[in-house]
A and B are shown apart, each in its own frame.
Chain A
Amino acid sequence: SQTIHQWPATLVQPVGSPLSLECTVEGTSNPNLYWYRQAAGRGLQLLFYSVGIGQISSEVPQNLSASRPQDRQFILSSKKLLLSDSGFYLCAWRPSGPWLDTQYFGPGTRLTVL
């Protein structure tokens, strides 16, 4: 069976510090991968998605970047965090292919920037 992991679960970082959040998927190959952010009082916003290794698409201009160094690994990074980067970050995966299927979400990372 497939599982998705995210770490760390919670993170408190000072403004201006770097960030690295990791997401890995097990039990599947060549998945579509997604990073979402859920800010307080706001809906879930898609930040990045990837349909293959090294292929990253950004949905919104921001202080963050994403990378996919391996097939089942998706990393969210920042060189200098802003207060507005605080939020709940969710990684999701979906089987690649044209068939109808859901996205499967990880447990999330709660990021607080002080």
Chain B
Amino acid sequence: KQEVTQIPAALSVPEGENLVLNCSFTDSAIYNLQWFRQDPGKGLTSLLLIQSSQREQTSGRLNASLDKSSGRSTLYIAASQPGDSATYLCAVSQDAGTYKYIFGTGTRLKVLA
């Protein structure tokens, strides 16, 4: 059974720092991996989607990497800002027919001004 773990559970950093969020999964047979952002009491917003054959994806200050064989993904946030404060979730999909996601428990990020 696939399990997705995110470390750390919470993180507090001063504004301007570069930071790395980690996601690990137990079964490397994934179809894709996705990083989401969730603001308090809100739905999820997609940040980056990495296909299983890809190594990384970039969008603005965000860069996500995928090492499928080792069951790991990292989300790199450059020059963090207070507006980046949110919970970050990673999710893996193993089923190419239904595209069901298995989510990690998230990393709660707080960027201090």
**A100-B100 Cα distance, complex, nearest whole Å:** 13
How many A-B residue pairs lie within 8 Å, measured between CB atoms? 56
Asked whether A74 is an interface residue with its Cβ less than 8 Å from the other chain, the reply is no
Asked whether B89 is an interface residue with its Cβ less than 8 Å from the other chain, the reply is yes
Residues of B close to A108: CB separation below 8 A: 41-43
A6's nearest neighbour on chain B, judged by CB, is B43
Chain A: number of interface residues, binned into ranges = 20 to 34
Nearest-CB distance from A111 to chain B (Å)?
A: 13
Residues of A close to B96: CB separation below 8 A: 98
Nearest-CB distance from B91 to chain A (Å)?
A: 8
**A104-B103 Cα distance, complex, nearest whole Å:** 14
Q: Is the interface of A mostly helix, strand, loop or mixed?
A: strand
CB pair A106 B101 closer than 8 Å: no
Nearest-CB distance from A80 to chain B (Å)?
A: 27
Asked whether A107 is an interface residue with its Cβ less than 8 Å from the other chain, the reply is yes
Interface residues of A (CB under 8 A from B): 32, 34, 36, 42-46, 49, 51, 57, 59, 88, 90, 92, 94, 98, 100-108, 110
Ordered by A's residue number, 12 sampled pairs between the chains whose C-beta atoms are within 8 Å are: A42-B105, A43-B89, A43-B103, A43-B106, A46-B100, A51-B98, A59-B100, A90-B43, A102-B34, A105-B45, A107-B43, A108-B43
